Protein backbone atom coordinates (compact mmCIF):
# COMPACT_ATOMS: atom_id res chain seq x y z
CA UNK A 1 0.00 0.00 0.00
CA UNK A 2 2.72 2.47 1.01
CA UNK A 3 4.65 1.62 -2.14
CA UNK A 4 1.74 2.87 -4.27
CA UNK A 5 1.31 5.97 -2.08
CA UNK A 6 5.04 6.73 -2.38
CA UNK A 7 4.90 6.49 -6.17
CA UNK A 8 2.01 8.98 -6.22
CA UNK A 9 3.88 11.27 -3.82
CA UNK A 10 7.06 11.22 -5.90
CA UNK A 11 5.12 12.01 -9.09
CA UNK A 12 3.36 14.90 -7.35
CA UNK A 13 6.68 16.20 -5.99
CA UNK A 14 8.25 16.16 -9.46
CA UNK A 15 5.27 18.08 -10.83
CA UNK A 16 5.54 20.57 -7.94
CA UNK A 17 9.24 21.15 -8.61
CA UNK A 18 8.57 21.81 -12.30
CA UNK A 19 5.62 24.15 -11.62
CA UNK A 20 7.40 26.11 -8.87
CA UNK A 21 10.62 26.35 -10.92
CA UNK A 22 8.70 27.75 -13.90
CA UNK A 23 6.78 30.19 -11.70
CA UNK A 24 10.02 31.24 -10.03
CA UNK A 25 11.74 31.91 -13.35
CA UNK A 26 8.74 33.88 -14.60
CA UNK A 27 8.43 35.86 -11.36
CA UNK A 28 12.06 37.00 -11.69
CA UNK A 29 11.00 39.02 -14.72
CA UNK A 30 8.73 41.18 -12.57
CA UNK A 31 9.97 41.17 -8.97
CA UNK A 32 13.28 41.09 -7.12
CA UNK A 33 15.18 37.90 -6.31
CA UNK A 34 14.38 38.25 -2.60
CA UNK A 35 10.65 38.66 -3.15
CA UNK A 36 10.52 35.78 -5.63
CA UNK A 37 12.57 33.61 -3.28
CA UNK A 38 10.25 34.25 -0.34
CA UNK A 39 7.02 33.94 -2.33
CA UNK A 40 7.93 30.64 -3.99
CA UNK A 41 9.89 29.10 -1.11
CA UNK A 42 7.85 30.10 1.94
CA UNK A 43 4.32 30.45 0.61
CA UNK A 44 4.09 28.01 -2.28
CA UNK A 45 6.72 25.29 -2.68
CA UNK A 46 7.36 24.31 0.93
CA UNK A 47 3.76 24.09 2.24
CA UNK A 48 2.80 22.06 -0.83
CA UNK A 49 5.75 19.67 -0.44
CA UNK A 50 5.09 19.09 3.26
CA UNK A 51 1.39 18.52 2.54
CA UNK A 52 2.15 15.93 -0.16
CA UNK A 53 4.65 14.21 2.15
CA UNK A 54 2.09 14.07 4.98
CA UNK A 55 4.37 16.06 7.28
CA UNK A 56 3.03 17.79 10.37
CA UNK A 57 5.42 20.35 11.75
CA UNK A 58 5.87 22.64 14.69
CA UNK A 59 8.26 25.52 15.16
CA UNK A 60 9.47 27.37 18.22
CA UNK A 61 11.63 30.46 18.49
CA UNK A 62 10.17 32.53 15.66
CA UNK A 63 10.94 35.57 17.77
CA UNK A 64 14.64 34.76 17.27
CA UNK A 65 14.50 35.31 13.50
CA UNK A 66 16.55 38.48 12.89
CA UNK A 67 15.47 41.24 10.53
CA UNK A 68 19.03 41.53 9.19
CA UNK A 69 21.23 39.18 7.12
CA UNK A 70 22.72 36.19 8.93
CA UNK A 71 24.04 32.68 8.45
CA UNK A 72 21.45 30.06 9.36
CA UNK A 73 23.03 26.73 10.24
CA UNK A 74 21.06 23.52 10.65
CA UNK A 75 21.56 19.82 11.14
CA UNK A 76 20.94 17.85 7.94
CA UNK A 77 18.39 15.10 8.51
CA UNK A 78 16.86 14.46 5.06
CA UNK A 79 16.09 15.83 1.59
CA UNK A 80 13.08 17.53 3.20
CA UNK A 81 15.24 19.90 5.25
CA UNK A 82 15.14 22.64 2.60
CA UNK A 83 11.33 22.88 2.40
CA UNK A 84 11.17 22.47 6.19
CA UNK A 85 13.41 25.50 6.75
CA UNK A 86 11.71 27.53 4.02
CA UNK A 87 8.35 26.85 5.68
CA UNK A 88 9.56 27.61 9.21
CA UNK A 89 11.46 30.83 8.46
CA UNK A 90 9.49 33.67 6.92
CA UNK A 91 12.52 35.23 5.25
CA UNK A 92 14.23 34.98 1.83
CA UNK A 93 16.78 32.17 2.27
CA UNK A 94 19.68 31.39 -0.04
CA UNK A 95 21.11 27.91 0.30
CA UNK A 96 24.66 26.67 -0.09
CA UNK A 97 24.18 23.65 -2.37
CA UNK A 98 26.33 21.00 -3.98
CA UNK A 99 27.32 21.65 -7.60
CA UNK A 100 25.51 18.51 -8.80
CA UNK A 101 22.13 20.17 -8.24
CA UNK A 102 22.98 22.75 -10.89
CA UNK A 103 22.51 20.05 -13.52
CA UNK A 104 19.05 18.91 -12.38
CA UNK A 105 16.46 19.99 -15.01
CA UNK A 106 14.19 22.85 -13.89
CA UNK A 107 15.49 22.78 -10.31
CA UNK A 108 19.04 23.74 -11.33
CA UNK A 109 17.88 26.63 -13.50
CA UNK A 110 15.57 27.85 -10.74
CA UNK A 111 18.32 27.71 -8.10
CA UNK A 112 20.68 29.67 -10.33
CA UNK A 113 18.02 32.30 -11.05
CA UNK A 114 17.36 32.64 -7.32
CA UNK A 115 21.03 33.21 -6.52
CA UNK A 116 21.78 30.02 -4.60
CA UNK A 117 25.46 29.38 -3.86
CA UNK A 118 26.93 26.26 -5.47
CA UNK A 119 30.08 24.57 -4.19
CA UNK A 120 32.20 21.87 -5.76
CA UNK A 121 32.76 19.38 -2.95
CA UNK A 122 35.43 17.56 -4.96
CA UNK A 123 37.60 20.69 -5.04
CA UNK A 124 38.31 21.92 -1.52
CA UNK A 125 40.04 25.14 -2.63
CA UNK A 126 37.26 26.09 -5.05
CA UNK A 127 34.65 25.21 -2.45
CA UNK A 128 36.21 27.62 0.04
CA UNK A 129 36.36 30.37 -2.60
CA UNK A 130 32.63 29.87 -3.20
CA UNK A 131 31.96 29.99 0.52
CA UNK A 132 33.98 33.19 0.92
CA UNK A 133 32.04 34.79 -1.95
CA UNK A 134 29.00 34.39 0.31
CA UNK A 135 30.41 37.17 2.52
CA UNK A 136 29.71 39.64 -0.31
CA UNK A 137 26.23 38.13 -0.79
CA UNK A 138 25.44 38.64 2.89
CA UNK A 139 26.80 42.19 2.76
CA UNK A 140 24.26 42.83 -0.02
CA UNK A 141 21.43 41.68 2.23
CA UNK A 142 21.16 37.93 1.67
CA UNK A 143 20.69 35.44 4.50
CA UNK A 144 22.28 32.12 3.64
CA UNK A 145 21.60 28.62 4.92
CA UNK A 146 24.42 26.13 5.47
CA UNK A 147 24.28 22.51 6.61
CA UNK A 148 27.67 22.31 8.35
CA UNK A 149 27.64 18.50 8.38
CA UNK A 150 28.09 18.79 4.61
CA UNK A 151 25.75 15.93 3.76
CA UNK A 152 22.74 14.10 5.18
CA UNK A 153 23.33 11.87 8.16
CA UNK A 154 22.90 8.20 7.25
CA UNK A 155 22.41 7.14 10.87
CA UNK A 156 20.34 10.03 12.20
CA UNK A 157 23.24 10.95 14.49
CA UNK A 158 24.81 14.40 14.26
CA UNK A 159 27.98 14.29 12.16
CA UNK A 160 31.10 16.45 12.70
CA UNK A 161 30.76 20.02 11.44
CA UNK A 162 32.88 21.20 8.54
CA UNK A 163 34.49 24.60 8.93
CA UNK A 164 33.19 26.40 5.81
CA UNK A 165 30.24 28.20 7.42
CA UNK A 166 32.38 29.23 10.37
CA UNK A 167 35.16 30.56 8.16
CA UNK A 168 32.79 33.07 6.58
CA UNK A 169 31.12 33.83 9.94
CA UNK A 170 34.49 34.68 11.50
CA UNK A 171 36.03 36.46 8.52
CA UNK A 172 32.89 38.46 7.75
CA UNK A 173 31.86 38.90 11.41
CA UNK A 174 28.42 37.62 10.48
CA UNK A 175 25.86 36.52 13.10
CA UNK A 176 24.80 32.88 13.22
CA UNK A 177 21.27 31.58 13.73
CA UNK A 178 21.25 27.91 14.84
CA UNK A 179 18.15 26.00 13.69
CA UNK A 180 17.67 22.50 15.11
CA UNK A 181 15.49 20.03 13.19
CA UNK A 182 14.06 17.25 15.36
CA UNK A 183 12.77 14.08 13.71
CA UNK A 184 13.48 14.81 10.06
CA UNK A 185 14.90 11.37 9.35
CA UNK A 186 11.60 9.77 10.43
CA UNK A 187 9.96 11.15 7.30
CA UNK A 188 12.72 10.26 4.84
CA UNK A 189 15.90 8.39 5.65
CA UNK A 190 19.12 9.20 3.82
CA UNK A 191 19.50 7.18 0.62
CA UNK A 192 15.81 6.26 0.58
CA UNK A 193 12.79 7.51 -1.38
CA UNK A 194 10.35 5.86 1.00
CA UNK A 195 8.33 8.72 2.50
CA UNK A 196 6.50 8.23 5.79
CA UNK A 197 4.10 10.49 7.69
CA UNK A 198 5.93 12.24 10.51
CA UNK A 199 5.82 15.11 12.96
CA UNK A 200 8.88 17.32 12.64
CA UNK A 201 9.88 19.97 15.14
CA UNK A 202 11.99 22.99 14.24
CA UNK A 203 13.73 24.96 16.98
CA UNK A 204 15.00 28.40 15.99
CA UNK A 205 17.60 29.33 18.58
CA UNK A 206 18.76 32.81 19.66
CA UNK A 207 21.18 34.60 17.34
CA UNK A 208 24.87 34.13 18.11
CA UNK A 209 26.30 37.60 17.50
CA UNK A 210 29.76 37.98 15.99
CA UNK A 211 30.98 39.67 19.19
CA UNK A 212 30.50 36.33 20.96
CA UNK A 213 33.00 34.50 18.74
CA UNK A 214 35.31 37.28 17.59
CA UNK A 215 38.23 35.79 19.56
CA UNK A 216 37.62 32.20 18.44
CA UNK A 217 39.19 30.46 15.48
CA UNK A 218 36.97 28.65 12.96
CA UNK A 219 37.71 25.16 14.25
CA UNK A 220 36.90 26.08 17.84
CA UNK A 221 33.69 27.78 16.78
CA UNK A 222 32.69 24.72 14.73
CA UNK A 223 33.28 22.44 17.73
CA UNK A 224 31.33 24.72 20.08
CA UNK A 225 28.37 24.89 17.71
CA UNK A 226 28.48 21.10 17.24
CA UNK A 227 28.29 20.67 21.02
CA UNK A 228 25.41 23.15 21.14
CA UNK A 229 23.46 21.16 18.51
CA UNK A 230 24.27 17.86 20.20
CA UNK A 231 22.89 19.10 23.50
CA UNK A 232 19.75 20.44 21.81
CA UNK A 233 19.11 17.15 20.01
CA UNK A 234 19.37 15.25 23.28
CA UNK A 235 16.52 17.32 24.78
CA UNK A 236 12.90 17.64 23.78
CA UNK A 237 12.22 21.02 22.12
CA UNK A 238 9.68 23.45 23.57
CA UNK A 239 7.48 23.98 20.51
CA UNK A 240 4.80 26.67 20.29
CA UNK A 241 3.41 27.04 16.79
CA UNK A 242 1.83 24.27 14.73
CA UNK A 243 1.11 24.16 11.01
Rounded CA gap, 235 and 229, in Å? 10
Quick check: 164 and 148 in contact, CB under 8 A?
yes
For the chain (243 residues), the mean pLDDT of every run of 10, in chain order, is 85 91 88 88 92 92 93 90 92 85 82 81 72 79 89 80 88 92 81 82 94 88 93 70 53
Q: Which pLDDT belongs to residue 222?
A: 92
Q: Which pLDDT belongs to residue 238?
A: 54
Q: Which pLDDT belongs to residue 239?
A: 47
Q: Which pLDDT belongs to residue 49?
A: 92
The pTM of this model reads 0.89
* Mean pLDDT over each residue of the chain, to the nearest integer: 86
CATH level 3 topology of 2-242: Glycerol-3-phosphate (1)-acyltransferase (3.40.1130)
Q: Which pLDDT belongs to residue 241?
A: 47
Amino acid sequence: MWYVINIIQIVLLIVLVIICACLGLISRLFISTKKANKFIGHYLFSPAVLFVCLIRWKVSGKENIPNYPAIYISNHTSLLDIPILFAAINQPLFYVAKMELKRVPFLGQYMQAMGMIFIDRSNREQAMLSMRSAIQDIAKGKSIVVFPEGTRSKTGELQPFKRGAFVIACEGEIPIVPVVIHGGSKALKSGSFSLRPAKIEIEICPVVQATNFRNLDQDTLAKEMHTFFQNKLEREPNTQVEN
